[in-house]
Structure 1
């Protein structure tokens, strides 16, 4: 049977404006870094993307190197688009990125105009698209002039291959410089994608101020700290967990007794709020309205349901916020 999305999907989701732009993003977006590559089942990927859209998640985040192997996440998403979502393309925000290694030779990574334009052309072909909604430079290039990289992003928008541009993993200082160049070119930076969680708060030290001043939105990845801020590690490291095997997200030596004690205390507080630990962690990164969207990863449909349910309780009392700070400071 042909896929038909839930008719009430937009009634369930909260949407936030990205900076001072005209674009709104769902408070929870779906990332396709892992579990959507060549080593994963297409039907499981289809089920997760369809369920996400049913819940009002309109933003699907990819990159040229997502998989594994690199490129395969875009290929799988292209199949899902063709099979299920082609009729709803204008309801979707699809993003991709370039910056990490993709092919041999001197033009296969970083931030040259040559690499960025070529990479996006490859991404569009893999997904079967004429354009993406957001195209990011995935990481700063220490050798290519920032002016060249930003001019390439401007060029891509003027070509009609992307509607908006963004930055990822840029520091506060780098973001301010890049934003100024993009404004001068006439293609302002829409959004920044940094890592952010209770255990990783670097964006509070300057970057959020730059984003607010320049009217740039933010979508944060790893809001659950690679899975630490879930119930998976309350009793140690399970053998079938990310940290229990070869993972790029989480290493077992990151899970100290001190951190486990914090996780258990945070879990108790989440239970008092009527939430899972993951739900409270997502609500926490969205607190105060500084973060436009929290980017989640999932390996099964149930995780998406649980994460989106966090939006039913986004408020924190002053006492709860103080208790969280005390737990994290121990």
Structure 2
């Protein structure tokens, strides 16, 4: 039998915890996302080390989805294995979230937002992670062909049945997020949290969504805070051969990495150096400046990378001049 993990006794001393909207739940300022590097194609030992180190650093929130891997479902299996063998005694110290919305299995019931799909997927996720419940269950993306009340009704049923404690949505535009918050409030299952993409290079949530979340008392946990790696030192000298942008397929295409964009990134990096931070650390701190942001969802491929990101919490303050300089850089053509 695997030896249970003995967590660091000081794990809660340096992490910040922020209240999620108007709920009673607090989340760590940084949460660990298992989108990449925790699948069946990855090394279980490395994945386990990152999960355990995150917990020792005060990261209590672990974010998954049904299709995370690859292959789909394998990230949940990896997390379930580590949880069961190493952290089972600490389940009540953890916030575990999962989602359903993207394609997970063949046929008409394997994606989008029907009650059939969402609840079936949740049951599968619980089985893979060997859990009785998740803390947060998200609808991963809006479904243009399913009535909103059906998708949200599935979240309500998940909570009322005890399979989830809270309901969340991801990738919802401002108008739909407002409708979702109103519907779920009427059902007495308040919308806890919204998970949108957001970074210095992707600021769409500032055009209405943040106002909705503030008005409705909904927390916000942005993903892709480093713009798929652009907001790191990886691209300061161009496109590395082993980077995401160099791959023929992926979320970051080489066509998106223009010389003009790299020029801006270099200037942001210069400012980060002045602040005594890496560019990645400054990019995370910049997101946490927004009061509506509860937590930032970060990824990692190794323990050292995770530790470097957590170090961003050591300098979260920005002067008015620094914020003005960032805006000037970002507005460059």
TM-score bucket (shorter structure): over 0.9
Q: Secondary structure at the match of 2:65?
A: coil
Query: Match for residue 238 of structure 1?
Result: 240
- Residue 116 of structure 1, aligned match among 102, 114, 118: 118
Query: Match for residue 159 of structure 2?
Result: 157
Find the aligned partners of 1:112 and 1:36 in 2 and give their Cα distance: 28
Offset at residue 178 of structure 1 (A): 1.1
Query: Match for residue 183 of structure 1?
Result: 185
Does residue 174 of the first structure (1) align with residue 158 of the second (2)?
Answer: no
Q: Secondary structure at the match of 2:277?
A: coil
Gaps of 5+ in 2: none
Find the aligned partners of 2:5 and 2:125 in 1 and give their Cα distance: 25
Offset at residue 103 of structure 1 (A): 1.0
Does residue 146 of the first structure (1) align with residue 148 of the second (2)?
Answer: yes
Tell me: CA distance 1:50–1:149, structure 2 relative to 1, closer, same or farther (3 Å).
same
Q: Secondary structure at the match of 1:102?
A: coil
1:187-215 Cα offsets, whole Å, 9 max, x none, are 01000000000000000000000000000
Q: Secondary structure at the match of 2:184?
A: helix
**TM-score, with structure 2 as normaliser:** 0.98
Offset at residue 246 of structure 1 (A): 4.2
Query: Match for residue 263 of structure 1?
Result: 265
Q: How many residues align?
A: 330
Q: Secondary structure at the match of 1:226?
A: coil
1:212-291 superposed matches below 5 A: 212-291=214-293
Find the aligned partners of 1:112 and 1:290 in 2 and give their Cα distance: 30
Offset at residue 290 of structure 1 (A): 2.1
1:312-323 superposed matches below 5 A: 312-323=314-325
Find the aligned partners of 1:234 and 1:57 in 2 and give their Cα distance: 30
1:167-198 Cα offsets, whole Å, 9 max, x none, are 00000001011111111111010000000000
Q: Is the 8 A contact 2:76 2:128 kept in 1?
A: yes
Find the aligned partners of 1:189 and 1:3 in 2 and give their Cα distance: 33
**TM-score, with structure 1 as normaliser:** 0.99
Find the aligned partners of 1:62 and 1:150 in 2 and give their Cα distance: 19
Query: Match for residue 97 of structure 2?
Result: 95
Find the aligned partners of 1:93 and 1:169 in 2 and give their Cα distance: 20
1:16-67 Cα offsets, whole Å, 9 max, x none, are 0000000000000000001000100000000000110010000000000000
Find the aligned partners of 2:316 and 2:92 in 1 and give their Cα distance: 29
Q: Secondary structure at the match of 1:10?
A: coil
Find the aligned partners of 2:77 and 2:262 in 1 and give their Cα distance: 38
Q: Secondary structure at the match of 2:36?
A: coil
Q: Is the 8 A contact 2:21 2:292 kept in 1?
A: no
Offset at residue 288 of structure 1 (A): 3.4
- Residue 18 of structure 2, aligned match among 16, 19, 22: 16
Gaps of 5+ in 1: none
Find the aligned partners of 2:18 and 2:80 in 1 and give their Cα distance: 26
RMSD of the TM alignment (CA)?
A: 0.8
1:26-175 superposed matches below 5 A: 26-175=28-177
Q: Secondary structure at the match of 1:264?
A: helix
Find the aligned partners of 1:93 and 1:2 in 2 and give their Cα distance: 19
1:247-284 Cα offsets, whole Å, 9 max, x none, are 53311111000000001000000000000000000000
Offset at residue 162 of structure 1 (A): 0.1
Offset at residue 153 of structure 1 (A): 0.6
